[in-house]
Structure 1
Amino acid sequence: MSAAARPLTVLWGRLTGRTGLIISGPLLSPDAKPLIQPVLAAAAVLLGSFIVGFDTRLFSIGLPDLRGAFELSFDQGAWLSTVATAPQIFIAPAVPWLAATFGVGRVLFWPSLAYALLCLIIPSAQGFEMLVVLHALRGLLLGVFIPATIMIIFRRLPISWWVPAIAIYCFRLAFSQSVGVALVGFYVEHLGWQWVYWQDVILAPLIGLLIRAGTPPARIDIGLLERADWGGMALLGTGWALIYIALDQGNRLDWLQSGLILTLLAAGAALVIGFFINEQLVANPWASHTVIASRNVLLAFLAILCFDVASISNSYLVPNFLVAVAGLRPEEIGRPLVLGTAVPLVLLMPVAVMAIRRFDARLSLLIGFAAFAVAGELGTTITHEWSPWTFLPILLIQSVGQAFTFLAAVVYILANSDPKLSTSVAAHVQVLRLGGAEMGLSLMATLLRQREQLHSYLLGLHVSASSGTVDGAVQGLAGSFSGAGGSSQLATARGIGTLAQLVAREANVLAYIDGFRVSYWAALAGLLVVAFMGAAPKGPLTPR
């Protein structure tokens, strides 16, 4: 440990009384001075985190085009999406241990090259089975990058650099969600859908080069290898992966009406419970829950769950409304999302970093959740006439929430934890972030489907064949088809079909209003959680 870092860690241990180690090893490498190597290593993993954000977003937005290119059915496309993400959750909890044992260089260098090769050959793959195998391998390699990002930040950078580095890590999440829509539109419109994959043939090898230049040769930690908690890593990764598959497929298969979903949920829950039991029994627990078993940390995790639901208004509701209701393509909605969210984030993230360094992180949480609440309330006023640019005020307010909330929650968790246990805490943060986000998206998709069905039924009660108003509307709509040739009965049938489409459109609008209302209440719940948070103990991550 460097001379500058040792007093901070000792002081922290005296103040908090926490001295145990879950993953051994120095907080900073002995050659952290000069800082050129840690900076290159941080650049490598931060580039990896951007690749994860963009690839996940590009795949979800571009899935309809990919289904057409690969000639897949809707069900096959849905399973391909699940298979592309589940391995990320399976491997993510174990990456901090792998990096601590084998070295970050080994964990990142070869996977980055293998990832580039997979991205090169996937567009040429033939057959659904081959696509599933290749996307599963791609997801497994992709799952290495994000946990390695947190690992590099905590083990290679000085503590004074943690907040800006974590800010970049948090920034890529919202930035990729907004820019990804425009990028998919650009690729499909100008370069071809293959570039959804081929962009990483160029970017992924850069990660390998940077990580080689930024990390010195590391010896394998034989001690960690001998006392490895293989059972804990397998139980947590497999359990959360099964739960993710159930959540991702639950809306399509009607949840508890499906035996597959019931089995996946039960098996996943049993494995996660088995993980916590295992951590109590083994001599050297890999990620014991005791590292997060404090009131402030648990409340911060709850705040992240509230953020996951509140931020859905930005990542899911706005773009999906424009696709489902307005009938627009990604290339038509990308520019407003970039200007309304991505560009403000570039300006707001430095402000968020300065605010966290000078003021209590709880203040940033309050600002972020308040912004999400305002945006959610504005979202309840949408109509079918809203265009991408009409959402600009909502997007600008949401960008404030994206910039302040998640960053403040992560910093608050670290400020209430022992820095020597940061890699273990990071494993729990990553699992909760992935699991909470997927749970929020799955429940929101189910809510939209069920509320659309309910509103369609309620609106249909007012569309009666014996109503003079309905007859007049049908005749007016039929009149627009009468000049196109055909009988009057055909024109009337087309008029009735158009009226049914209008009812379905308004039912969709009402469902999305309900979705924004859920986002609003999640933001209020986040404000309530922050109200119960206590002050963090004095340390290197508390305000100056």
Structure 2
Amino acid sequence: MPNGPLVMPANVDARSSHRPIFAVGAVLFGAFLANFDSRLFSVGLPDLRGAYSLSFDEGAWLSTAATASQIFIAPAVAWMCTVFGLRKILAIPSVVYAAISIVMPLTDTYGVLIALSILHGLLLGTFVPATLLIVVRNLPRKWWIVAMAIYSARVGLSLNAGISIVGFYVSDVGWHWLFWQDVIIAPLMGICVLLGTPHEAINRRLVAEADWGGMLLLGSGMAMIYAGLDQGNRLDWLQSGAVVALLSGGAALSLGFLLNEALIRKPWARIDVILTRNICLALIVILLYTLTALSNASLVPNFLISIGRLRPEQTGGLFLTFGVLPMLILLPSTIYLVQRHDPRLVLIVGLAAFGFAGILGTGITHQWSVDDFIPILLLQALGHSFSLLPLMMIALASSDPTRSTEFAAYVQVMRLGGAEIGMSVMATWLRVREQFHSNLLGQYIDGGKSDVMHFIARLTEHFAFAPANLAPALSIRSLVSIVQQEANTLAYIDGFWLTALFAGLGLGFVTLMTRSPPGPFSSDR
């Protein structure tokens, strides 16, 4: 999922690392952990349900608990790093994270699994914003653009490579490695943090002045709203008391946060920090980027699973070859373009690529196979490569360095909350459109009874091998399956239209942005 920029936190004497390669390593490992773990859990959830013997509902709540805890902690991470230092926030927690990752596949009690997932998510929620701080606080400026480019590329890479990795783990080495990979990666991140960042003393003055109420209100409110959105499609939204309670409770806590920030003497994250023109527009475009990127994150792989009846290990090669590899090839050109040209122009190309990918997707049929999606994946790879990095450059150049921890709180809300809004919107859209098309197709079938009876007769002949009393039932079941397949295909077409619309809206908001002032990533610095 996308993440926004942070700038130099106030009240901290940042020092460039004398081992910048380790600082870059910490960023790389941290970004990998955050995005790949979330992606692997999402793609591998059906296999995890089977491995843990969970019902569909239990699996859904497990997923909600793992991500809601990330949202709870993420807005406060920049402040925590400013106060306690990067080492304390990343080094020791990385070891704890690895220990939890060892235990989770061995757990056979659902309550313990939920508790471990919450702890797992709390620690994971610190890694993305904390590792990004390493870039702007501990790396020489000549390293910034490379580290930021790697950091921004993690979103598209995890979306594409995650499918192949899940397939490899589940079919070849065991589902346990969905967790056990972190036993290797998390400690490596901790070691890189220790070697690549300086020791920082606790800022006791900021601790004494902390707006604990504001942090708790925002984190709790966003986590409850997320849980309501995540469960809404499964529990039929406002028909469920749990969803209503989560959404209304989260909204009340979020309103309490805004009142708290307006009334207390030293607020933690005043809303006016994001009300400048380019910052506000950049956050909106980040949300729209998240929504249009769903054409890659959910539509293509889910179509291949639900319509094509393929497993992740059967489609992973497609996403590696035409999703991951093009992004790696385009990475140097992305760095060059955002340094030498207006980032808005690069961003326009990226969003336009997503728009064209969505339009191509509207031509799908139930007969589409893996190879038919190659042009779409190539356009999406271009979109990922040319969208997030320039967005980060624009927001970074337009932000106020003295209020970076305030700005970071809202960026984290947009990063995680925007992704969940996108997933909820798309899941609900597909469900509603499938019902709509099923109804329409059903009306056509009712209106053409002679043709339908003729088709059923042909199907009955096809099932001539079955007992005479079963052949008609099998024929009708086949007809229902065909109608459902076509309704699902039409729903996916509508989903691609929706992603193209989001890309178009993103382009419209980009045109409203003003040129950013020269910044640390510009070629003239």
Q: TM-score by structure 1 length? A: 0.92
For 2:322, the aligned partner's letter is G
Q: Within 5 A, what are the aligned runs for 1:439-450?
A: 439-450=421-432
Contact 1:178 1:338 survives alignment (8 Å): yes
Structure-to-structure mapping, 1:7-86, within 5 angstroms: 23-26=10-13, 28-29=14-15, 32=16, 35-86=17-68
Q: How does 1:128-277 map to 2 (within 5 A)?
A: 128-277=110-259
Take 2:412 and 2:97, find their aligned partners in 1: how far apart are those partners? 21
Letter in 2 for 1:58: L
Task: Indicate how the Cα distance of structure 1 residues 480 and 36 shifts in structure 2: closer, same or farther if over 3 A, else same.
Answer: farther
* 1:523, distance to aligned residue in structure 2 (A): 0.6
For residues 124 and 258 of structure 1, what CA distance do their matches in structure 2 show?
33
Q: Does 1:502 align with 2:482?
A: yes
What fraction of aligned residue pairs are identical, expressed as a percent? 48
Change (3 A) 1:292 1:161: farther
Q: Please say if 1:285 is aligned against 2:267.
A: yes
Q: Distance in 1 between matches of 2:109 and 2:519?
A: 56
Aligned ranges 1:318-467 → 2 under 5 Å: 318-464=300-446, 467=449
Q: Which residue identity is paired with 1:369?
A: L
State the partner residue of 1:3.
none
Mapped to 2, the partners of 1:159 and 1:507 lie a distance apart of 53
Q: CA deviation at 1:219?
A: 0.9
Provide, for residues 409-451 of structure 1, a one-character-per-residue CA deviation record: whole Å limited to 9, x for no partner: 1110011113343443233222201101110110110010010
Alignment of 1:450-529 (within 5 A): 450-464=432-446, 467-483=449-465, 485-487=466-468, 489-529=469-509
Matched, 1:306 2:293: no
Counterpart AA for 1:526: G
Does structure 2 conserve the Cα–Cα contact (< 8 Å) formed by 1:22 and 1:424? no
Q: Aligned partners of 2:314, 2:521: CA distance in 1, in Å?
A: 42
Contact 1:150 1:426 in 2 (8 A): no
CA distance in 2, matches of 1:421, 1:340: 40
Contact 2:9 2:82 in 1 (8 A): no
Indicate how the Cα distance of structure 1 residues 432 and 465 shifts in structure 2: closer, same or farther if over 3 A, else same. Answer: closer
Contact 2:8–2:401 under 8 Å retained in 1: no
2:346 and 2:387 in contact (8 A); partners too: yes
The answer as to whether partners of 2:10 and 2:401 remain within 8 angstroms in 1 is: no
Counterpart secondary structure, 1:377: helix
Aligned residue for 1:4?
A: none
Alpha-carbon spacing, 1:466–1:219, altered in 2? closer, same or farther (3 Å): closer
Q: Is the 8 A contact 1:23 1:97 kept in 2?
A: no
Task: Provide the C-alpha distance between the structure 2 equivalents of 1:21 and 1:354, rounded to a whole number of angstroms.
Answer: 24
1:360–1:542 contact (8 Å) kept in structure 2: no
Contact in 2 for aligned 1:150/1:423 (Cα 8 Å): no
Measure the CA separation in 1 of the matches of 2:520 and 2:184. 38
Q: 1:533 is paired with a residue of what secondary structure?
A: coil
| Aligned-partner SS, 2:444 | coil
Alignment gaps of 5+ in structure 2: 1-6
Does the Cα contact within 8 Å between 2:8 and 2:404 map onto a contact in 1? no
- Deviating above 6 A after TM superposition, structure 1's stretches of 4 or more consecutive aligned residues are none
2-structure distance, mates of 1:233, 1:39? 33
**Equivalent position SS for 1:477:** helix
Distance (whole Å) between structure 2 residues aligned to residue 480 and residue 80 of structure 1? 44
Equivalent-residue separation in structure 2 for 1:311 and 1:112 (angstroms): 29
CA contact (8 A) 1:42 1:149 kept: no
> Which one-letter code corresponds to 1:532 in the other structure?
L
Distance 1:158 1:427 in 2: 25
Q: Provide the alpha-carbon RMSD of the alignment.
A: 1.6
Q: CA deviation at 1:22?
A: 7.1
Q: Is the 8 A contact 1:463 1:470 kept in 2?
A: yes
CA 1:290 to 1:159, structure 2 compared with 1: closer, same or farther past 3 Å?
Answer: farther
Does the 8 Å contact 2:303/2:492 carry over to 1? yes
Cα distance per residue 1:1-58 (max 9 Å; x no partner): xxxxxxxxxxxxxxxxxxx9974213x31xx2xx443431332133011111111111
Shift of 1:204: 1.1
Structure 2 residue identity aligned to 1:370: A
Cα distance change, pair 421–177 in 1 and its aligned pair in 2 (3 A) = same
Q: CA deviation at 1:224?
A: 1.2
Distance 1:127 1:312, change over 3 A: same
1:176-234 Cα deviation digits (max 9, x unpaired): 11111011111111111111111111111111111111222221111111111111111
Shift in alpha-carbon separation, 1:279–1:159, aligned structure 2, 3 A: farther
Contact 1:22–1:286 at 8 Å: present in 2 too?
no
Task: Classify the secondary structure of the residue corresponding to 2:175.
Answer: coil
